[in-house]
């Protein structure tokens, strides 16, 4: 197989659902902006040379519906000949899009592809606007349809992850993210235009554009005491709270993937190669354990061990499951989510896999890590993991 090189990987900030900076900005506009930025940041790349645009989206309906991968390609000014697709594997959709786009290059079916992700949780709620589970199957298999927070409670209970450990994990997520923001370490983050509607003197709303240049869910002022006081969010006497769950968020991200031939022809400086991608299934009612099985499968494919990996981005869907996976795999916690994770930075569902790719690559450059792994749990009971190798 050929190599697939990631030459550019960028993201918008992640902003809180319903009350954050992107609450009134349409997902197509976030994605259009980040696709155009990815192209502009790739020297000598012309839009007409892109073979395909693959976009992860978890609830592809309403504002982000139809085929947003195709629609946004056109909105962003790609020629009509450049196709586009929308990919859904729930929380790994953005990573799935990057891996499918990379596989086309690896197979020799394409030279240049884009993989990305988008989600406006402000505009399309988790579960979609009109969920219609199968009436009989729901009765016999309710676990496939339960709230993600309930699966996090199940993991906490079954694998004995106490409330205090979850809150400490959440606290550190915010502290690491706050420090990274202060030190401008989110080099993959692109200040992004957003809109707001402001009431004007004649009682009509005026649309204004502004630039959002930071992740607005980071709580620099949080404390272990404040976290300990929060009520459980998904069951009466549970341990999973608003503080130790991922935040619901809006955002978009994109990576440009190129063959070796095109790297040379366009004189590009690749960041990393995508080496392997592994997926597993697990019990839906404890879907959070996914990374525990996906990461070893990935390492086996690559012939590497946990200690070969310099940095990990493991999606913090919930502290209970992320912490459980890190402990079960005996991963050095200092290598995990070094600038915070989804508890502080948000989890814009279908965008997350693409967002974490851009963060992981930036962190691999910052730490000089040869290998980095991105992994996440997936609703319905799955885990995904991808291995990236830094280019010289
Ligand atoms: C848990 C959940 C329901 C909470 O939703 P929410 O109430 O909108 O959460 P918020 O972040 O706005 O927090 C609510 C309040 O809790 C308190 N709070 C939250 N985090 C806190 C922290 N770290 N420190 C102190 N207080 C905190 C605050 O009072 C906050 O209100 P404020 O924003 O006005 O200050 C939601 O985040 C959720 O569903 N998360 C999981 C998403 C998911 O399942 N994704 C898929 C995973 S597979």
Instruction: Measure 118 CA to ligand 1 centroid, in angstroms.
Output: 21
In ligand 1, which atom is closest to the CA atom of 377?
48
Is 134 known to be catalytic? no
| Contact call for residues 372 and 388 (beta carbons, < 8 A) | yes
- What is the per-residue pLDDT for 159? 98
- What is the per-residue pLDDT for 392? 85
- Which ranges constitute the DSSP H helices of 60-207? 68-75, 93-107, 135-140, 148-158, 163-182
In ligand 1, which atom is closest to the CA atom of 226?
25
Is 282 known to be catalytic? no
Of 57, 58, 91, 99, the active-site residue reads 91
Among 242, 243, 246, residue to substitute to test ligand 1 (most atoms within 8 Å of Cβ): 242
Q: Whole-angstrom Cα distance, residue 71 to residue 374? A: 28
pLDDT single digits (tens) 335-384: 999 999 999 999 999 999 999 999 999 999 999 999 999 999 999 999 99
Ligand 1 pocket, CB under 6 A: 91, 148-149, 174, 219, 222, 226-227, 230, 233, 242-243, 245-248, 317, 347, 379
CA angle 323, 298, 307 (to 5 degrees): 65
pLDDT mean by block of 10 residues, the chain; 392 residues:
98 98 98 98 98 98 98 98 98 98 98 99 97 96 96 98 98 98 98 96 94 98 98 96 98 99 98 98 98 98 98 99 98 98 98 99 98 98 98 92
- Tokens standing for 196? 């707001």
Q: Whole-angstrom Cα distance, residue 370 to residue 364? A: 7
């Amino acid at each position: 197989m050929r190599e697939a090189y990631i030459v550019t990987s960028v993201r918008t900030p992640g902003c809180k659902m319903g009350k954050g900076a992107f609450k009134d900005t349409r997902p197509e506009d976030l994605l259009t902006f980040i696709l155009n930025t990815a192209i502009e940041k790739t020297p000598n790349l012309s839009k007409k040379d892109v073979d395909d645009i693959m976009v992860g989206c978890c609830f592809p309906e309403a504002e982000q519906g139809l085929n947003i991968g195709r629609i946004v390609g056109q909105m962003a000014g790609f020629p009509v000949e450049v196709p586009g697709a929308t990919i859904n594997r729930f929380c790994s959709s953005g990573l799935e899009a990057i891996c499918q786009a990379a596989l086309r290059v690896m197979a020799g079916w394409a030279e240049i592809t884009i993989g990305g992700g988008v989600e406006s949780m402000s505009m399309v709620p988790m579960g979609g606007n009109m969920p219609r589970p199968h009436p009989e199957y729901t009765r016999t298999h309710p676990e496939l349809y339960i709230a993600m927070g309930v699966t996090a409670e199940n993991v906490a209970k079954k694998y004995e992850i106490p409330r205090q450990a979850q809150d400490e994990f959440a606290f550190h997520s915010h502290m690491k993210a706050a420090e990274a923001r202060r030190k401008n370490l989110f080099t993959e983050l692109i200040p992004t235009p957003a809109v707001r509607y402001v009431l004007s003197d004649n009682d009509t709303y005026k649309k204004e554009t502004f630039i959002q240049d930071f992740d607005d869910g980071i709580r620099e002022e949080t404390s272990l005491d404040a976290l300990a006081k929060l009520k459980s969010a998904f069951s009466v006497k549970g341990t999973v709270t608003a503080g130790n769950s991922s935040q619901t968020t809006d955002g978009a991200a994109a990576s440009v993937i190129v063959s070796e031939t095109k790297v040379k022809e366009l004189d590009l400086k690749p960041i990393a190669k995508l080496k392997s991608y592994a997926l597993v299934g697990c019990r839906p009612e404890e879907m959070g354990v996914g990374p525990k099985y996906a990461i070893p499968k990935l390492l086996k494919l690559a012939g590497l061990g946990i200690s070969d990996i310099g940095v990990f981005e493991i999606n913090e869907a919930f502290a209970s499951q992320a912490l459980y996976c890190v402990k079960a795999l005996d991963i050095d916690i200092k290598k995990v989510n070094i600038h915070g994770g989804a508890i502080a930075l948000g989890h814009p569902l279908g965008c997350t896999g693409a967002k974490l790719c851009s963060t992981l690559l930036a962190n691999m450059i910052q730490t000089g890590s040869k290998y980095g792994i991105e992994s996440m749990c997936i609703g319905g009971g799955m885990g995904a993991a991808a291995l990236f190798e830094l280019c010289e």
